[in-house]
Amino acid sequence: MQHSVVFLDRASLQAEVRRPGFAHAWQEYAASEVSELPHKLRDATIAITNKVPLRSDTLQRLPNLKMIAVAATGYDVIDVDYCRTNGIVVSNIRNYAVHTVPEHAFALILALRRNLFAYRDDVANGKWQRVDQFCFFDHPIRDMFGATLGIIGEGALGQATAKIARGFGMKVLFADHPPPKMPDVEFTPFEQVLKQSDVISLHAPLTPDTRNLIGSKELRHMKRTAILINTSRGGLVDEQALVEALTQGVIAGAGFDVLTKEPPKDGNPLLELRLPNFILTPHVAWASEGAMQFLADQLIDNIEAFVAGKPQHLVT
């Protein structure tokens, strides 16, 4: 058979995407709205999506669909249960961002631990020019060496982040949390990690078990000098609770690359923060040139493996 492949949000991937090596028709759209999917996918046997949701009410109108190739590691935009029940194969991308996401996480950690943005703003506002000595100490500067990093999510990204942390001389704790689990990882109870860590970094998938994993209770268990880093999924953190924690000094800072809804066209409480101890970047931790090309190549590898009868990187 000739497959019909439809890429729903091609603009989300700034890399060269080779065409599959089997007979196929190819259609791509820069972006897609959910309301457009029954029309765009009416003949598709293979759908490629990064962040366009494919839920049961859409999928049940697509009898020809055999595979969904997710152009990301996270697959919370897919109704996996429906796909499993109805024989639709779902594959995702593995281990493509093992360098770029941990590097971004540590860029956030370093900036916050050393209060770089607060000092930058002071210089921009002329404060250095007005003091009587060669420097000033208005914001605490905390070393990485000897600090404790708590990691929630013990997969490839969490473990790569731990490797960087150990290079700085940090102590690393992996928090026990809802599945999935990796073998041969020594876990520390979740609440203990919250209490002991100077930095908490999130690297867990978004599932019903992990949604709002960090809320008011968890934030208040953290040290007042601790910072929270999220380069994973926005839904892992109660965003309003984080706003309150930052404005009330419950924790010392936070660095986020993700929000619950992206892009935040309808607003988000974190967008209103104008604090030097909060950094928000637009979901770009994954997006180095090398990582995107690796993703694009594996995306087509997954599709070719499925058509060859040897599907890989399955989530169903």
- What would the pLDDT profile of 134-155 be if each residue is shown by its tens digit? 999 999 999 999 999 999 999 9
Distance CA 150, CA 147 (A): 10
Residues 6+ apart with CB under 8 A from 149: 161, 162, 165, 170, 171, 172, 173, 197, 198, 199, 200, 201
What pLDDT score was predicted for residue 44?
Answer: 98
- Whether the CB-CB separation of 114 and 168 falls below 8 Å is answered with no
Q: What superfamily does domain 100-280 belong to in CATH?
A: NAD(P)-binding Rossmann-like Domain (3.40.50.720)
What pLDDT score was predicted for residue 181?
Answer: 73
Give me the active site residues, please. 233, 262, 283
What pLDDT score was predicted for residue 180?
Answer: 65
pLDDT-flagged residues of the chain (< 50): none
Domain boundaries, the chain: 3-96+290-307, 100-280
- Number of neighbouring beta carbons within 10 Å of residue 85: 11
pTM score, whole prediction: 0.88
100-280 matches 3-96+290-307 in CATH topology:
yes
Residue type, 222: M
What pLDDT score was predicted for residue 1?
Answer: 78
What pLDDT score was predicted for residue 176?
Answer: 86
What pLDDT score was predicted for residue 185?
Answer: 82
Distance CA 233, CA 153 (A): 12
What pLDDT score was predicted for residue 246?
Answer: 98
pLDDT (tens digit per residue) in 196-230: 999 999 999 888 999 999 999 999 999 999 999 99
- Whether the CB-CB separation of 243 and 253 falls below 8 Å is answered with no
What pLDDT score was predicted for residue 183?
Answer: 75
The CATH class that applies to domain 3-96+290-307 reads: alpha beta
